[in-house]
Every structure is written in C-alpha cells, then in structure tokens.
C-alpha cells in the first residue's frame, strides 16, 4: 500500500504553527521571517513533502517577475542598451500571461524580498548584472527560477549575445568593404569575460583572413584622449574595432580632433547598437546586441518553467545582426 503524501497540514502539526504560515513559506512569500521560513523548509524536506504540481492558467495568473538592472557610477555606462526595449521584449515573451515587473538595482543587497507589498516572486531576470552569491542562494532555497542576460554563467541559466561571432562578422565586413589588412581591437580590462570573448572572435577572424592584428585594453573610457591617439599611431591601421558603441563614438570624436578622417583614413566599428548612435550624423557601424530578443527569450523560458513546469536549463547564444553605418 502506497504511503500517504505529506501535506501542509502535517507540517503545521509537526511544528505547532498555522497552516497559513506553512503555505506562505512553501509558496515563497516574503511575509515570514527568514529563520521561521528556513525551519519550515527544512521540516518539509525532512518529512518528504512534495509540492503539488499544478499548471497555472495562462490567462488568469499574474506573475511577479523581478528584473535586476545594473547600476554604475559612470553615467555613460547606462547608455549602451535601451531598458524600454528590454522590458518590451520581456512582456512580448510572456504573451497572454499577465506579469508584474518589479525592478531592482544591482547594488550588492537586493530588496526584492524585503517589502511585504512585493508579494511572491515567481521568477528573476538578471540583466547585465552580477548579483551577490547570497541572493542566488536565497533564490535556490526558495526554488525560484532565474536567468542571466548577457552574462555567461556555466552553472546557471543564461542567454547572451554571441560576441565571438559578432566580432568575426565585423572583421569580415571590413575585409569585404574596404580590403582592411591591418586592424586593432580596443576593449575594456574591467569586464574580462565579455572582452575576452570579443577578443577571441577578433583574433580568430584575423587569422582566417591573414590580417595583421593588435589588441589594446583600457581601464576606462576616460583614457581616450589626445595622448592616447598619439601613442596608438593609427596612421598605419586600416580599421579599429571597439568593444562597444560608446567607446567607438568617443574614439570617433578624438580621431576627428586629430584630423584623422573616418572612414577615409581609417574604418571604425562599435558593438551593441547602442541608442547613443542616434545622437550623431555619422552612424557607427556595429552589431546589434539584440536587447529585445534577450528579454523575449528569457521570458519564454521563465514562462515555460513557471506556468508549464518545464524545468529545463537554458544556455543560449544569440547571434547579433550586422548594422551598417557610415564609418567603414
């Protein structure tokens, strides 16, 4: 004879607490203190409690999705993607499932569980941010699904722009459109993971086309000044590929001030298809970061996990579209 399933009533009796308190904890409510929540979760696990797997009705449920955005002191760092495009992508991905998006900044300590009015958190999207490990442990203990955007975390779920193929695409276009044979890639030493992937794509493409190449890493965009231009000696270069559009726009201005014409004297590319491109007549040739698609794919995965109980992992690279400009 099969053993009877453990219910929330059994757990409540075991701990001599109310059924409603047990229910709140097992449904990831933030209303219960951390110590009591941990006791209930440990007791449930010890007693062999298994949460009933019920598919939520797609048209009636309202899901609370936490969107964690990065915060940087440097104001230009907030210009490399369009937050509205990201949010629209998330809403499109959830389709007819109603969602409430709760935003928080990546400041080291998350507030998504600290406000009672927040309600239950059903899923979390970390957009261009690196949360503290304590938050990830909290989410894991509550069995709340989360996904990283534009960060490759091999032990976690992620959706990221394919930087390697994007850089190879830029090199190929420079070869085809201006027969470039000597190139330089300028990246940021502060973001090792992303810079390394872009550098790898750059070097691989240069090797494929037998191109002379050089890599220069800078710690900050403030390093781009008159002395930097003189030291780099761009006179013998056919093209310079920048790690992102903000760097490309800054370098564009510095080169012009040195009477170096673009694209006549040297080709120039960025990466991201940042909104900053639209502020200049000379449009930087770039690769689309696919911000909307990143949000959409994350939403589809979360919806399948939360609504359909499809707890499959996701490790996805999205190839960015080549965006022509006037700089090559």
The segment with the largest mean pLDDT, out of 109-118, 125-134, 170-179, is 170-179
Average pLDDT, the chain: 86
CA distances from 235 to 214, 216, 238 (A): 14, 16, 8
CA 314/CA 160 separation, integer angstroms: 11
The pTM (predicted TM-score) of the whole model is: 0.77
143: region left, alpha or beta (phi > 0 left; psi from -120 to 50 alpha): left
Question: What residues are paired with 102 via a beta bridge?
Answer: 66
CA distances from 30 to 27, 117, 133, 259 (A): 9, 9, 19, 60
| pLDDT higher than threshold 50 for residue 54 | no
The segment with the largest mean pLDDT, out of 61-65, 277-281, 317-321, is 317-321
| pLDDT higher than threshold 50 for residue 37 | yes
CA distances from 268 to 14, 199, 242 (A): 68, 16, 8
User: pLDDT for 105-119, tens place per residue?
Assistant: 876 656 676 655 445
User: pLDDT for 71-125, tens place per residue?
Assistant: 776 666 666 678 889 999 999 999 989 999 988 887 665 667 665 544 588 999 9
Homologous superfamily (CATH) for 62-161+292-321 = Response regulator (3.40.50.2300)
Q: Give the architecture-level CATH label for domain 163-287.
A: 3-Layer(aba) Sandwich (3.40)
* Tokens describing residue 321: 């579209």
For the chain, domain boundaries:
8-47, 62-161+292-321, 163-287
């Amino acid at each position: 004879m099969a053993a009877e399933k453990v219910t929330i009533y059994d757990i409540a009796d075991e701990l001599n607490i109310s059924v409603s308190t047990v229910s709140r904890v097992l449904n990831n409510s933030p209303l219960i203190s951390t110590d009591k929540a941990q006791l209930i979760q440990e007791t449930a696990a010890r007693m062999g409690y298994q949460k009933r797997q019920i598919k939520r009705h797609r048209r009636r449920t309202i899901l609370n999705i936490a969107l964690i955005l990065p915060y940087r002191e440097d104001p230009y760092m907030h210009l490399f993607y369009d937050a509205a495009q990201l949010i629209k992508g998330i809403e499109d991905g959830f389709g007819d499932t109603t969602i409430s998006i709760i935003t928080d900044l990546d400041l080291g300590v998350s507030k998504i569980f600290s406000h009672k009015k927040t309600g239950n958190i059903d899923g979390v999207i970390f957009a261009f941010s690196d949360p503290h490990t304590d938050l990830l442990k909290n989410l894991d203990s509550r069995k709340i699904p989360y996904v990283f955007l534009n960060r490759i975390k091999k032990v976690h779920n992620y959706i990221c722009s394919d930087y390697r193929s994007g850089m190879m695409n830029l090199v190929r276009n420079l070869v085809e459109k201006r027969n470039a044979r000597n190139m330089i890639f300028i990246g940021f030493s502060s973001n090792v993971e992303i810079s390394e992937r872009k550098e790898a794509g750059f070097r691989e493409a240069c090797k494929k086309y037998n191109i002379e190449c050089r890599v220069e890493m800078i710690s900050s965009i403030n390093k781009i000044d008159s002395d930097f231009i003189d030291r780099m000696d761009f006179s013998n270069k056919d093209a310079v590929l920048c790690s992102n559009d903000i760097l490309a726009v800054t370098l564009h201005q510095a080169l012009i001030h040195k009477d170096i014409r673009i694209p006549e004297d040297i080709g120039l590319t960025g990466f991201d298809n940042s909104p900053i491109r639209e502020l200049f007549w000379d449009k930087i040739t770039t690769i689309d970061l696919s911000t909307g698609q990143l949000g959409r794919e994350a939403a589809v995965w979360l919806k399948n996990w939360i609504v359909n109980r499809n707890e499959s992992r996701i490790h996805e690279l999205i190839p960015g579209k080549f965006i022509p400009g006037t700089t090559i």
